[in-house]
Copies of this chain bind each other. A is one copy, B any other.
């Protein structure tokens, strides 16, 4: 999850950890936030896996002295070739995991770099998942409505409306994607 997000952001430009986290917030908005406590270890693991590498090719090394003093400066990371491959690979696999709450936002955030058919599959999968959930809540609500207190009821109904809203949003997006694929395959409609 964090991994995909990091790959996606570094795909655009090299960044250091701190900056990466700001971008993460800016990109995922209200969907997800990550702490440094998970970011840095992830960065280390990804480096060990060979997907990212320290980027030495930036203007940080100006004076000769700092290098000798062994001071700890910014650590700028960039994608490696394997990292790029891994990113494409992760983007392509539109499995059930991609339409769960936590993953969907991250996948969607990188739709501009995702193949049109994959986009549609993920959107449809997500919609189906939500409709399923909605039906579950609806029927359970129908069975137990009178037994629930008004607060619980409020909660259910607000939840139901939220799901409805997202389903409508997804439907619009799917429509747009479909039209775009028909008229002009492999481009972004938005």
> Interface on A for B, CB 8 Å cutoff?
25-31, 105, 108-112, 133-134, 136-137, 140-141, 144, 148-156, 158-163, 165-166, 169, 173, 188, 190
Contact = CB atoms under 8 A, between A and B. Distances in A.
B25 A155 contact: no
B29 A160 contact: yes
Contact of A29 (B111, B149, B151, B156): B156
Given A31-B159, A158-B169, A159-B31, A151 B26 contact: no
Nearest to A119: B151
Main secondary structure of the interface of A (DSSP, over half): helix
- Integer count of this chain's copies in the complex: 2
B112 A152 contact: yes
A142 to B, nearest CB: 11
Given A30-B163, A31-B159, A155-B105, A140 B25 contact: yes
B31 A136 contact: no
A170 B190 CA distance: 33
A153 B140 CA distance: 35
10 contacts: A28-B155, A29-B140, A30-B159, A30-B160, A31-B155, A109-B152, A149-B190, A150-B190, A158-B166, A158-B169
